Copies of this chain bind each other. A is one copy, B any other.
Amino acid sequence: MINIAIIDDQPIVRQGIVELIHINDNFNVVLQASNGEEGLNKIADQAIDIIITDIQMPVLNGIAFLTQLRASGNNTPVLVLTTFDDNELLVEAIKAGCNGFLLKDITLEKLNNAIQAVASGSYLIEPQTSPSVEDVNKQSITLTESITDTEKQILRLAAAGFNNKEIASCIHLADGTIKNYVSKILEKTHSRDRTQAVVKAIQWGII
């Protein structure tokens, strides 16, 4: 018996998974939530074998939910379902600690297999719809190579706690130019701010 938690804001999707129960009486939906926050609150007091979550959700999205879940020490297998075939989302989900990543347009049969695989501890990414792990790595490498020396220098100095003005005087550029560079770095690393960019740079080993 596999105990399943479903986190999705779309009742239809939740129902679709409940529906799946009927074709596999080994499945048992023990928890439903319509967003990550609700999920986090409910999850604590349950024996759960797999969490299936959407990414696009109000209040607390799937990636943030996953991040917080892992942060809280919970290692329950998480299968991420998403409507969009977005490379970035996949990378984020993997980094946040998901065990599986599927598009919602998958067949029920495949979802069935995926749930069993992920619940039993496997990692699963649908190859037809998503880039392979190699692709993800390749993407990182491409990204790494496209970060110029100046940009790396700026990342290092930002990591050391320098502000734009200080970075500017360190490498003899105007502080407005540093801002431009930082913006370019954020774009290249797909980061939202310098903090995230520096973290990624460290994780990718480029600084």
Contact = CB atoms under 8 A, between A and B. Distances in A.
B202 A67 contact: no
A170 interface: yes
Interface in A88-109: 96
Contact of A193 (B37, B67, B163): B163
A64 interface: yes
Assembly stoichiometry (copies)? 2
Interface size class of A (residues with CB under 8 A): 20 to 34
A198 interface: yes
Interface in A56-81: 59-60, 63-64, 67-68, 71
Contacts of A170: 37, 60, 64, 68
Contacts of A152: 71
A191 to B, nearest CB: 6
Interface stretch (A2-10, A17-25, A43-51, A154-162): A154-162
Residue among A59, A63, A171, A199 with the highest chain B CB neighbour number at 10 A: A199
A207 B81 CA distance: 26
A132 to B, nearest CB: 24
16 contacts: A63-B160, A67-B156, A68-B157, A68-B170, A68-B171, A71-B156, A71-B207, A159-B195, A160-B199, A161-B191, A161-B192, A161-B193, A163-B192, A198-B198, A199-B199, A199-B202
